[in-house]
Structure 1
Amino acid sequence: MALNDKVALVTGAASGIGEQCARKLASDGATVVIADLNLANAQKVAEDIVANGGKAIAVAMDVTSEEAVNTGVAETVNRLGGIDVLVSNAGIQIVNRIEDYAFSDWKRMLAIHLDGAFLTTKAVIKHMYASNKGGAVIYMGSVHSHEASQLKSAYVTAKHGLLGLARVVAKEGGPRGVRANVVCPGFVRTPLVDKQIPEQAKALGISEQQVVKDVMLKETVDGEFTSLEDVANTVAFLAGFESSALTGQSIVVSHGWFMQ
């Protein structure tokens, strides 16, 4: 399950979950591509990985733009020779009640989470096929790929959609050695989640402490947030899995919040 000599492209990798996944893949031997809208931050992450003995490059990528995705993937292939692993991680969060949810916000959410997953998969999978080595496509889903929460209509819809996309990619890619799976974390204490706490407190009319205890962690077995390391270790496991026995699946990493 070693990732030596593998090239892994991680979107939204300049911070948060994506950055941790990239660092873990690099520590396991992969050459990682830090793909992010914020090229300056992506370069900093790549430089730090290299300074610590890993292999990494940075590319600019807006996952909602087909041209930008194709350009970033082409740059990666030109510089590194191919792509063996795609971690489609780029995402944002916008919370609001359905009656107040702006259509523009709905479209933005689906564009980043779903269009981004589709466009990066479309661009990368042809190179996986051409290599005759297969590859691994990993989507960053959520417990909300299986569950619903108030205020998150677009997010829940998008994360559910990733399950369907992964299953189709698994069916189409299986005969050519391409596996596709979805990692489904619970709440991870990132700036994205920290931003939600006061937003949900205001929308639900409860305290921030209640949001954490009674909304985010209520259904966990131990009252703990999922860690960045929990998610990155799961991604690395799926990236290095050596057969098509594990494909078309969702792996829930949520301290028991959702059990399947």
Structure 2
Amino acid sequence: MRIDGQVAIVTGAASGIGKEIARKFAANGAKVVIADLNGSAAEAAAAELDHAGGALGIGMDVANEAQVEAGIAKAAEAFGRIDILVSNAGIQIVAPVHEFDFAKWKQLLAVHLDGAFLTTRAVLRHMYRRGTGSIVYIGSVHSKEASVLKAPYVTAKHGLIGLAKVVAKEGAAHGVRANVVCPGFVRTPLVEKQIPEQARELGISEAEVVRNVMLKETVDGEFTTVEDVAEAVLFFASFGSKALTGQTLVVSHGWFMQ
């Protein structure tokens, strides 16, 4: 599953799942662009991965059209091509539907859906010119299932599957594939933040949130790891033909089975 010489952009990659995907890509020969809302953290993460100029950190708010256009242009200028996009940037806000603040609803959808659209649109122009490319969206088991307190997140993650299917159909004539990796709960800072929040909302202990909410439906009571997700993303990104496009791969210790 080598991707030697290919240029990969990973959003939300200064930490967590995105950073591990970037590391996995670099270890398999890719030049990696780390795009993150925290520009200094993106640069620091790129410095960790840099081998002979093979990594670049870019500050980017994926929900800001001008920043996305400028960031993708900078990446293309630096490396001369764009082969892979991993749309990973995301946030989480927890509250019941009847109390959910509309501004926060729009904020979450903007990061997940507007961000996926804007980065996709920007890279497709480069991929179409070269006649090749692979886009991997980081969905979630919540792309398939629902959980209480997560209405906009579930909505957004379902939406990514629809976007991927359209891009797969439109991109086929240009050699571009699009797929979705759907992780279960991964113990990143995003998830760590949710544990006390859900404990308060549900009136249970943090241990009960982990055991009875997050991991209850897994086959082994284990969290998915960043390494698990990165392996799945590399598989989609490196697949050698258009036989694998418009698909989802669930990585969740059996939480959701299809």
Q: Deviations over 1:148-184 (max 9, x none)?
A: 0000000000000000000000000012110000000
Cα separation, 2, equivalents of 1:208 and 1:258: 23
**RMSD of aligned Cα (Å):** 0.9
Cα separation, 2, equivalents of 1:155 and 1:180: 21
For 2:10, the equivalent position in structure 1 comes to 10
For 1:61, the equivalent position in structure 2 comes to 60
Deviation of 1:54 (Å): 7.9
Q: Secondary structure at the match of 1:59?
A: strand
Q: TM-score, normalised by structure 1?
A: 0.98
Cα separation, 2, equivalents of 1:78 and 1:209: 48
Deviation of 1:17 (Å): 0.5
Cα separation, 2, equivalents of 1:155 and 1:68: 23
Deviation of 1:79 (Å): 1.0
Shift in alpha-carbon separation, 1:54–1:208, aligned structure 2, 3 A: farther
Q: Percent identity at matched positions?
A: 63
Cα separation, 1, equivalents of 2:165 and 2:121: 14
Deviation of 1:251 (Å): 0.3
Indicate whether 1:93 and 2:88 are aligned. Answer: no
Equivalences for residues 242-257 of structure 1 within 5 A: 242-257=240-255
Cα separation, 1, equivalents of 2:50 and 2:118: 28
For 1:130, the equivalent position in structure 2 comes to 129
Cα separation, 2, equivalents of 1:223 and 1:33: 34
Deviation of 1:146 (Å): 0.3
Cα separation, 2, equivalents of 1:91 and 1:54: 27
Indicate whether 1:146 and 2:144 are aligned. Answer: yes
Which residue identity is paired with 2:27?
S
Equivalences for residues 28-39 of structure 1 within 5 A: 28-39=28-39
For 2:233, the equivalent position in structure 1 comes to 235
Cα separation, 1, equivalents of 2:81 and 2:69: 13
Q: Deviations over 1:209-242 (max 9, x none)?
A: 1100000000000000000000001111111101
Q: Secondary structure at the match of 1:33?
A: strand
Unmatched 5+ residue regions in structure 1? none
Which residue identity is paired with 2:84?
V
Q: Secondary structure at the match of 1:138?
A: strand
1:191 to 189, 192, 202: 189
Which residue identity is paired with 1:28?
N
Cα separation, 1, equivalents of 2:146 and 2:5: 39
Unmatched 5+ residue regions in structure 2? none
Cα separation, 1, equivalents of 2:189 and 2:144: 23
Runs of 4+ aligned structure 1 residues displaced above 3 Å come to none
How many pairs align?
258
Cα separation, 2, equivalents of 1:65 and 1:192: 21
Q: TM-score, normalised by structure 2?
A: 0.98
Indicate whether 1:24 and 2:24 are aligned. Answer: yes
Equivalences for residues 213-232 of structure 1 within 5 A: 213-232=211-230
Q: Deviations over 1:114-148 (max 9, x none)?
A: 0000000000001001012x110000100000000
